[in-house]
Amino acid sequence: MSNILEINKIYKQDCLSFLDRLYKEKISPNLIFTDPPYNLSGSDLNLKNNTTGGAFYKVNEAWDTMSEDEYFNFTYQWIKKSFDIQKDGASIYICCSLHNIGEVTMAVKQVGYSIKNIITWAKINPMPSITKRTYTHSSEFIVYAVKGKKWTFNYETLKLINPDKAINGKDRQMRDVWSLPQCQGKERIKDPQTNRAVHSTQKLEELVKRAILGSSNENDLVLDMFMGSGTTAVASKRNKRNFIGCELEDRYITVANNRLAVN
Ligand SMILES: C[S@@+](CC[C@H](N)C(=O)[O-])C[C@H]1O[C@@H](n2cnc3c(N)ncnc32)[C@H](O)[C@@H]1O
């Protein structure tokens, strides 16, 4: 294995040691967009007769099951290491849900980032409440924070790409509530043999695109240390940004590389 990290590549590595490598090699991402484990797996809720392949696939993964203490320590460590590699003016976006928003926001504040928005992803096609004992879970969140005082924020670009126009057709400011579907249909990568989603938590590319266009410029470097099926890498490439990242599982890296090859 080469000792020098290459840009525009996904490494098979644990996020903590990967962040140490970035620090050592002074590789400093302008933007981090990441979707960490939410620590929501391991419950005994099972969807009987669940044969759907897409977003209605219960998340139940070994990488997503930790004790409360382990999870906070892990979250704190990768967020602290992220802060240490980023320079003033850089941004970080972290996906979360009710399961981990507390840990994420606490760690983000403790290490020294300044939270600018909690973006709500209002899902227009949520999974119904199976237990019928809670409101339908139809939102996730993205904690958007910056390091230092002079962060990149491409206000005009965000106005242009905002689909929510004024009644007279004029562009409007991008709000911090994004009404978007879950990743389904053509965008969802499926196993041709089983027709099931290859990754249980593949994110919608539009979420990443907004962060990339809003908080980075062409040729900037975008990091995702929980790369999964490669959504951050694909969105970076399509929008003329460089990317780098890591992922624990070979099968997801293969999926990500296949996506990159055709994008
Ligand atoms: C929530 S998923 C990311 C999904 C991704 N956003 C996508 O669109 O496909 C989190 C990913 O992090 C990986 N992962 C979990 N723990 C990790 C660790 N310690 N270091 C690196 N990757 C890890 C998992 O294998 C999983 O693919």
Report the pocket of ligand 1 as residue ranges, CB < 6 Å: 14-15, 35, 37, 63, 199, 201-203, 225-226, 228-229, 231, 246-249, 252
> pLDDT tens, 85-100?
999 999 999 999 999 9
Residue to mutate, 32, 41, 70, 226, ligand 1, most ligand atoms under 8 Å from C-beta: 226
Cα–Cα dist 155/171, whole Å: 11
Amino acid identity for residue 230 in this structure: G
By alpha-carbon position, which residue is closest to atom 5 of ligand 1?
228
Question: Going by CA atoms, what residue is nearest to atom 16 of ligand 1?
Answer: 63
Tens digit of each residue's pLDDT (9 = 90 or more) over 135-157: 999 999 999 999 999 999 999 99
pTM: 0.93
Going along 76-130, which residue ranges are E strands?
91-96, 114-123
Q: Which of 121, 113, 115, 74 is nearest to 95 (CA)?
A: 121
The pLDDT of residue 55 is 38
Number of Cα atoms under 13 Å in the Cβ half of residue 67: 2
- Does 45 score more than 60 pLDDT? no
Residues in contact with 137: Cβ distance below 8 Å, sequence separation at least 6, in sequence order:
97, 98, 126, 127, 129
Domain 9-261: CATH architecture, name and number where available = 3-Layer(aba) Sandwich (3.40)
* pLDDT for 50 beyond 70: no
Q: Quote the CA–CA distance of 76 and 236 in Å, as a whole number.
A: 26
Q: What are the residue ranges spanned by the domains of the chain?
A: 9-261
**Is the pLDDT score of 105 beyond 80?**
yes
User: What is the per-residue pLDDT for 131?
Assistant: 87
Q: How confident is the model at residue 53 (pLDDT cuts 50, 70, 90)?
A: very low
Q: Is 63's pLDDT higher than 50?
A: yes
Using the mean position of ligand 1's atoms as its centre, give its distance from the Cα of residue 34 in Å: 9
Shortest CA distance to 59 belongs to which of 41, 77, 45, 37?
A: 41
Q: Which residues contact 159 (CB under 8 A, 6 or more apart)?
A: 171, 172, 173, 174
pLDDT band at 127 (very low <50, low <70, confident <90, very high): confident
Instruction: State the average pLDDT for the chain.
Output: 92
**Best mutation site among 38, 39, 63, 82 for ligand 1 pocket (most ligand atoms within 8 Å of CB):** 63
Residue 1: closest CA among 18, 23, 26:
18
- The pLDDT tens digits of the residues spanning 218-246 come to 999 999 999 999 999 999 999 999 999 99
